[in-house]
Each structure stands twice: as C-alpha cells, then as structure tokens.
Structure 1
Amino acid sequence: MNQLKEALRGNRYPGRGVLWCRTADGASLGAYFLTGRSPASKARTLRHTPEGELIVAPTQACDHDHLRHYVAARQSGDLVVFGNGEQVSTVADRLGSGAPPASALDGLDYEPDPPIFTPRLTVIADGSRAWFGAARRSGGGRSATNRLTLQVGDLEPGEGVLMTTYHSNGHEIATGAPFLEVGIDADGPRNLLDELWESLPPQLRIAAAVFPPGGLARSDIRQAAAAPV
C-alpha cells in the first residue's frame, strides 16, 4: 500500500480525484480535488451553495459547461455523495427516491470527451461505509461502458481508497487505475487537506475540499488562487 503522498506525487496529472479515508486519529472523511492544464479548466472554483451543496463553478461569467461546472458533493439523508460530474446530482436523486447505493450508481456512463473519455467517479458514504462507482470506457475496441462498483467498509485509522480520472508519467496521459488503497499520515480534516494539497502537482492545482459525512457545510476548502465572487 502506497502512502497518499507517494501515490499522487508519482502521478504527473491526476485530473480529478475522490478519496474516502480514516485519518490517523480515526476520523472518517471524504475529499474531492481538481487539477487542470488549460485556462478554462483553471478558471474554476469550489464553493458552497445556499442549499448546502459543494459545486464546481466558473470564476467569471461564462456559458455553463456541463463537463466543467457541476455539483461536486450533495447530502442525501445520512449519506454524502461526491464525484467529478453531473452524475452526482443523478445519484443523489436516486438515493432520495429510495434506491440503495449500488443501484444508485448503476447505469452511469463515462464522459463524451474523446480521445481520452474521462471516467465518471462517484462516492456514496456514511460514517462507516463507502460505495465507489466508476464508469469507464473499455480499454479495448468497444465503446461500451465498464462499470465498477466497490464497497469499502471497516477502514482502519490511516487507511483510504483513492480514484483519479487520469494517470500520467509526464509525457503520456491515460485513464487512472480502477482504484488505489493508500495510507494516510494526517490526523483530522485540516491536516488531511494539507497532505492532499501538498501532494498535487503545484502548477496544476485548482481546488480541493475535505468534509465529514453529514458535514458538507463544514468542508475545508483550498483554492489555488483567490477566485472572483
């Protein structure tokens, strides 16, 4: 098992990522982060809405881009849902209609952004368990979606599960590994945010957030630069 720092520092372009973990002091926490290369990707911010959602929004007035601007985390009863696209709202709505987590994650598709076809990553979590969903394009010649659902329970302090959209050696970019089990050095949300932020490529950082289940309003958020309101 690699430490979180090692896993991220060995990835020259992680894209977007989701993490569910227990910190060294035993706290269960979720995290979401954004990295980007283009000016349009970098012109984004993570912020709360009056409804208590965590959204990825543009830093200045522009047309809505459904691949770049979306609800990144939403509460659904005792469950928090977070991920890298519009599917977060879809999954939260399904949970609100009574669907169990595995069913709520079913039927999702990867993003229509050739040539890489970015995976859609989604996490549903409560205080003790998490369900990860990844909708990925086939690595072969098929255009069909491969859907991975992973239930994670009984993490020990200092353990976590990480998914990233991409993996890069600095020259080539591919879709990320289905999932990585990682070690967590930090204790508490603020230190976890520090550990996560310091592990991301500095020139690609956009934003990151750490939150407890049921506590989106208490998210710790870090931005690469002050963003216009």
Structure 2
Amino acid sequence: MANNLDLEEQEQLDQLKHFWNEYGNLITWVAIIVFGSIAAWNGWQYWQRNQAAQASALYDEVERYAQAGDTARLERAFGDMKDRFGRTAWAGQAGLETAQALAAKGNLDGARTALEWVAGSARDEGYQAVARLRLAAVLVERKAYDDALKQLTGGFPQAFEALAADRRGDVYNLQGKKAEAKAEYEKAFKGFSERDEYRRLVDVKLTALGVDTRTLAAPAAPAASEAAKQP
C-alpha cells in the first residue's frame, strides 16, 4: 500500500514538474505584471493625494495674498501653482482668484494673462467657462470688442450658455448692433428660468431695446397647460 501511495505521489510530482516546466515562466510573468500593476496604481494614488495636498496648501497662499492685496507675492504664488500643480483643479481656482484680485487693483493686463491661462489650461470645464466670461469682460474694458466676442463664441457647458449669450448681447449693444444684441438677449432670456434673478436683468435690457418679453415667455404656456391636465 505504501508503495502504491509513493508511486501516486511521484506521478503527481512528475505532472507538477511537467506543468511548471511548460507554464512556469508564463505564470511568473503574469504574477509580476499583476502585482506590478497593483504597486503602480497604489503609487499613483499616493502621488495624486500628495499633489492635491501640496496644491491645496499653495492655493491657501494664493488666497491669502489675494485678500491682502499683495499682488507681487500673489503673482509669484500663482506662477508656482502653474509650474508645479498646473494639472490640478486647484490651479484653475487659483487663476480665477488671482485675476479677480489683479483686476481689483487695476492690473487688467495681469488679470487677462491669468484668465487666458485658466481658459486654455484648466482641467475643469466650469473654470474654463468662467474664465472666458471674465476674460470677455476684461477685453470689453479695453474696448477690444471683437476679441471679446471670440471668447464668447464656440462651445460652452449648458449651464453657462445663457450667460454667454447675455455677454454677447452686451458686446453687440456696445458696438451699436441692436439687432444682433436683441437676438442674443432673447437667447439668454429663454435660457434662464422664470425664478432666476438674472433673467430680470436681461428683461430690462430687452425692454430698453423695445422688446416685449411677454411674447418671449408666451410659447411656454401651452406646454404648461398640457402638463396641468395630466394626473
């Protein structure tokens, strides 16, 4: 009986050796790839968390200098943010903060530079949209109306489309292009909800151009009445 067990064990051992000889290298490489990928992923996650923490700390500096009105240190801190953490969401937020502080100090060129970076390089499309809207306002201050319109054309996230239309209307109005201004204001008016305070401002602009906004709101009435009939 013992001999039979020894033979069976030897046979199993031989089969295992044969299997390992044939597939051992493949199994080893698969294990290396799997565990290497896990280690790389963990390392990437750690790096991301570390980057976010450092970027957050540097953003605090940007915010502090902005509130203090220390524009020299503010610009240096924002420069560091772009160089070291430009791929983080904090950089876009820092750019908007920097531009606002510089504009408040009358440094429109510095504000424009910061906004151009956010509009072209920020990771968050919301920050990009806000930067384009604010950049258009800076360009209007410079009476660079055509450049302002370039910032306001092209795709905007849906949440910003009405605001962009309103800004385009402002630019056309300043250029004396009343028909184009009306068209853009009407888009903005329709884009804002009835409860939105901003819609009232657009209402005033349209009224000043001789547009009865009640005619713009009228098409929504049939849909509302149909909805009211439903259980």
Same topology, TM > 0.5: no
Please give the TM-score of this superposition, normalised by the length of structure 1: 0.22
Q: Which has the larger radius of gyration?
A: 2
More helix by share: 2
Q: Specify which structure has the bigger relative contact order, considering alpha-carbon pairs within 8 angstroms and separated by 6 or more residues.
A: 1
TM-score (norm 2): 0.22
Between structures 1 and 2, the one with greater strand share = 1
